Structure 1
Amino acid sequence: MEFKEFDSNKLMYVTNRPDLVFTEGDGMWLTDHNGKRYLDYLQGWAVNALGHAPQCIADALTEQGKKLINPSPAFFNAPSIELANLLTENSAFDRVFFANSGAEANEGAIKLARKWGKKNPATNGDARFEIITFKHSFHGRTIATMSASGKDGWDTMFAPQVPGFPKATLNDLASVEALITKHTVAVMLEPVQGEGGVIPATKEFMQGLRRLTKQANILLIVDEVQSGMGRTGELFGYQLSGIEPDIMTLGKGIGGGVPLAALLAREEIACFEAGEQGGTYNGNPLMTAVGVAVIKELLKPGFMDTVRERGAYLRQRSLEISEKYGFEGERGEGLLRALQLGRDIGPQIVEAARNMEPVGLLLNSPRPNLLRFMPSLNVTKEEIDQMFAMLEEVLAKVEK
């Protein structure tokens, strides 16, 4: 079937897309409308924690779809209660609010922090509403989360921004301390800046940030939309540092591909009052049943051990190819990693890899000087080896 037979012009333009339509997926593989297969190292931008079309998600959708899809968030439903319990039992948090996207969860975190600040004003009575965020951070595409993000150019894209988000420098504690004022209510960061180029916050920085926020009586918010749900080799990225934040947001991997996100908070922080937070589809049983299926897979004995092993192997193979081609190394945590190319050839590699025949390779270059790898958490060593073999074929062409 020719691509021109798909009337794609009816979709609103938001980004450049290649002339292909994906029709099927299985694990680490996608198939397009012509039957061509692609080894997928995007996985929906770290969304498909268990790969494409995992059986446990298909079963959860089928079984729950026959029972109950959405009774409205005005009532309790069993899957949302079960998922909330699984999340709190395995984290430092006591309360959960379910949302549909990471941006929505982050918007909720901003609201919750400001609500807490209103209930706990500065010692002189001044309102506390400012949330310190970080340069090169990414928190979503709503007006408030774009304002919170430190992505270049976003301060003017839909100006004026929402005020109250001064920007510090990741892994520089002094830059955070310098921004704390009587109006500061929280510090918000990604344990690994994904869109910023896979830049991990160091253990020392995270521990120092936790001490600083406690001393200043302000909240620590971790945006784990990309780093959460096993991606870093721990169930949640903050666990790498041995700290306990006040608020956490989840998205992407929590639904394994379906629209599901979560806002978690410690008991004393969860201060929303009736009517202040909600959403038509939030916490619906169809999506939360999938979330239950996903987290149960992650909690199976040995699953996270395998993620750590695969992450170490991906790091090893990245360092090998870096040395061979004179690149600048690699960085990341678990199965969220970046190959630092040292030159702006990322977009050319992405396009050449996708156009390989007879099998394509899907890669991501959030910055032109690096490639980001986001495989499913159950990727095999053979699939890692296959990716690097294909990448070497592409490099031979691009570097030439």
Structure 2
Amino acid sequence: NLLGHCPPAVVKAVQEQVATLIHVPNTWHMDVQGRWAQMLSDRSFGGQAFFCNSGAEANEAAIKLARLHTPKSKYKIITFQGGFHGRTMGAVTATAQPKYHDGIEPLVAGFTYAPFGDLNAVRERIDDDTCAIMIEPIQGEGGVRIPPEGFLQGLRELCNEHELLLIFDEVQTGCGRTGDWFAYQHFGVEPDIMTLAKALCGGIAGGALMARAEIAPSLRPGMHAATFGGNPIAARAGIATLETMEQEGLLQRAQQLGELFHRRFTELQQECDIIAEVRAVGVMVGIELTVEGAPVVKECLERRLLINCTQGNVIRLLPAMNLTEELAEEGCDLLAAVLKEVAS
């Protein structure tokens, strides 16, 4: 949640909606759902929205839409090593991390994996059966990995050349996390399909697929659905979340916080030899260590600082974008002290 616990505007919106209408099927028109879709469209590349309940559901819809929109002979989707797209069967197959596949084979057919950042490897994997390329613009679970300069643009050009769809999984990067509404705007590369969740509804469960107007109709009525997708409670929460971010200037705030975190831990790197690299885009920060990160996470928790470790050695920070500078500095001080102790 990018707005912290129980953001007042979201709480108020949800309380009002619960007292008015909790749920009706999507066969009924809901003004609030249309308004939410329009707000997302206005802040992104336009197009249309399909609402669901989670990031995994949004990615399943994206996979289905990619196959429906392209000729029947095309079904393969290229994804990337270290990526993460969810734990449902299609999404987990798209996730090129063997630890998530153990014990659930056979996986869904039609996925090909490429090294993250290697454009030549992607080119080699495109064949006559390929319909799409699916990628997180910044890998979250993979260790806050930022793509090499020009890589996403290269994917866009490959998709244009071979008539493939470019899918951006922005479940973790979207809705302001990077200091732009969506990470694709940070990199200046526009996808055909984009998936959203996590921060989308300010703490309420919700997901969305955004697709360009000429692509979206391929997901025909009845072809894909979610009973509670786009329900009025989630819609009101989603609207309140977007409005709060705008009214409080939180996109700029995320950029400022990202600069603070990057500066603090880059400076610390000079005196703490277990820090290999610091990566930050907005309030999405990765501190790669030369040692295991679990002891750091444990000790920070003892000191009431909640952090996360991915890939065994990358400390991942995903704070709220309305964090005060005072609290951000305090958190940096606590983490710096723990890293120094572990290094010694």
Q: Shorter-chain TM-score: what band?
A: over 0.9
Q: Which residue of 1 aligns with 2:130?
A: 184
CA distance in 1, matches of 2:249, 2:276: 33
Determine helix, strand or coil for the equivalent of 1:338. Answer: strand
The 8 Å contact of residues 93 and 247 in structure 1, kept in 2 or not, is answered as: no
Superposed CA offset, 1:283-329 (max 9, x none):
10011100000011223373311211111111101112222211212
Over aligned residues, Cα RMSD in angstroms? 1.3
CA distance in 2, matches of 1:223, 1:313: 26
Bigger shift: residues 385-394 or 193-202: 385-394
Q: Which residue of 2 aligns with 1:382?
A: 326
Structure 2 unmatched ranges of 5 or more: none
Q: How many positions carry a matched residue from both structures?
A: 342
CA distance in 1, matches of 2:76, 2:141: 23
The 8 Å contact of residues 261 and 280 in structure 2, kept in 1 or not, is answered as: no
Spell out structure 1 runs of 4+ moving beyond 6 A: none
1:148 paired to 2:101:
no
Determine helix, strand or coil for the equivalent of 2:309. Answer: coil
Match of 2:277 among 314, 329, 349: 329
Over alpha carbons, which structure has the higher Rg?
1
The 8 Å contact of residues 283 and 317 in structure 2, kept in 1 or not, is answered as: yes
Determine helix, strand or coil for the equivalent of 1:361. Answer: coil
Q: Which residue of 2 aligns with 1:341?
A: 289
Q: Which residue of 1 aligns with 2:232?
A: 285
Q: What is the letter of the counterpart of residue 286 of structure 2?
A: A
Give TM-score scaled by structure 1 length: 0.83
What percent identity do the matched residue pairs reach?
37
Q: What is the letter of the counterpart of residue 283 of structure 2?
A: L
The CA deviation at 1:368 is: 2.2
Determine helix, strand or coil for the equivalent of 1:365. Answer: strand
Q: Which residue of 1 aligns with 2:42?
A: 89
Superposed CA offset, 1:10-46 (max 9, x none):
xxxxxxxxxxxxxxxxxxxxxxxxxxxxxxxxxxxxx
1:111 paired to 2:64:
yes
Structure 1 unmatched ranges of 5 or more: 1-47, 122-126
Superposed CA offset, 1:209-266 (max 9, x none):
1111001000000000000001011110011121221000000010111101100100
Give TM-score scaled by structure 2 length: 0.96
The CA deviation at 1:132 is: 0.4
Superposed CA offset, 1:301-360 (max 9, x none):
73311211111111101112222211212013111011112222x10011111122xxx1
Match of 2:179 among 233, 237, 241: 233
Q: Which residue of 2 aligns with 1:365?
A: 309
1:312 paired to 2:259:
yes
The CA deviation at 1:151 is: 1.5
The 8 Å contact of residues 192 and 332 in structure 1, kept in 2 or not, is answered as: no
The 8 Å contact of residues 71 and 284 in structure 1, kept in 2 or not, is answered as: yes
The 8 Å contact of residues 130 and 165 in structure 1, kept in 2 or not, is answered as: yes
Determine helix, strand or coil for the equivalent of 2:29. Answer: coil
Q: What is the letter of the counterpart of residue 217 of structure 1?
A: E
The CA deviation at 1:392 is: 3.2
Match of 2:8 among 48, 51, 55: 55
Superposed CA offset, 1:33-68 (max 9, x none):
xxxxxxxxxxxxxxx110111101110111111111
The 8 Å contact of residues 129 and 183 in structure 1, kept in 2 or not, is answered as: yes
